């Protein structure tokens, strides 16, 4: 019986956190777009897309859902969670309140999705030490308590950016069943059919015995 390795084509991530913690800037930094100190707050949800290399050498499509942090958009953000594989919770190391509100975002996540792939980013790590309101030790202790991986990040300098996103993307991919070898599909379960854009492969319809 022949087998074919099918790689997952896309991983979807949502970025959650209070307004102005730098979610949009992190997305733009990952996509190598220009950094702006005066970026406007997101309204609703923005969808960004890029190609991303995995640790196993494969390349996937990475879809980022950049959610607004304002209270009036919270229900919209929660709806997005049902369609993603991984979640990045972001707070601002210079704003204590955004760190304290991480608990609220985790509660929202629990309401929408069971056992998700999660990571915690302490953003704006490029700021001078005297402006920090959340220490590395404090954030690491909290992350350990909540069983989260923690990364200090900066959209401006890209500190921790590759490490943090690489972790959550690969964890999300592996949880979906990607692994190092992709998903093994029994070739006998598939058939070639004519589609609008040429031939394509689809699963065979199972006949129901009466």
Question: What percent of the chain has a predicted confidence (pLDDT) above 90?
Answer: 55
| pLDDT digits 0-9 by tens, 80-121 | 788 899 999 999 999 999 999 999 999 989 888 888 899 999
H helices then E strands: how many in the chain? 6, 10
Q: Higher confidence at residue 185 or residue 64?
A: 64
CA distance 115 to 77: 18
- pLDDT of 23 strictly over 70: yes
Q: Which own/partner pairs from 53-57 qualify as long-range (CB within 8 Å, at least 24 positions apart)? A: 54/169, 54/170, 54/173, 54/178, 55/166, 55/170, 56/178, 56/179, 56/180
So what's the pLDDT on residue 113?
Answer: 83
- pLDDT confidence bin for 175, thresholds 50/70/90: confident
The answer on pLDDT for 176 being more than 90 is no
Give residue 210's pLDDT: 45
Q: What is the pTM of this model?
A: 0.75
CA atoms within 13 A on the CB side of 112: 23
Q: What is the mean pLDDT of the chain?
A: 79
**Tens digits of residue pLDDT in 147-162:** 999 999 999 999 999 9
């Amino acid at each position: 019986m022949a087998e074919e390795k099918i790689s997952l084509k896309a991983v979807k991530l949502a970025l959650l956190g209070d307004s102005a913690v730098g979610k949009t800037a992190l997305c733009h930094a990952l996509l190598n777009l220009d950094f702006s100190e005066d970026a406007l707050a997101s309204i609703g949800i923005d969808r960004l897309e890029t190609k991303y290399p995995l640790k196993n050498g494969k390349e996937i499509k990475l879809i980022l859902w950049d959610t607004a942090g304002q209270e009036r958009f919270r229900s919209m953000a929660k709806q997005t969670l049902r369609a993603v594989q991984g979640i990045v919770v972001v707070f601002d190391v210079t704003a204590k309140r955004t760190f304290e509100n991480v608990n609220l975002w985790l509660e929202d996540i629990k309401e929408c999705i069971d056992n998700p792939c999660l990571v915690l980013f302490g953003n704006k790590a490029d700021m001078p030490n005297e402006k920090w309101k959340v220490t590395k030790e404090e954030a690491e202790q909290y992350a350990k308590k909540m069983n989260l991986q923690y990364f200090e990040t900066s959209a401006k300098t890209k500190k921790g950016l590759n490490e943090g996103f690489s972790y959550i993307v690969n964890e999300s991919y592996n949880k979906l069943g990607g692994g190092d070898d992709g998903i093994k599909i029994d070739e006998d379960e598939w058939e070639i059919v004519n589609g609008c854009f040429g031939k394509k492969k689809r699963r065979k319809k199972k006949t129901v015995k009466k």
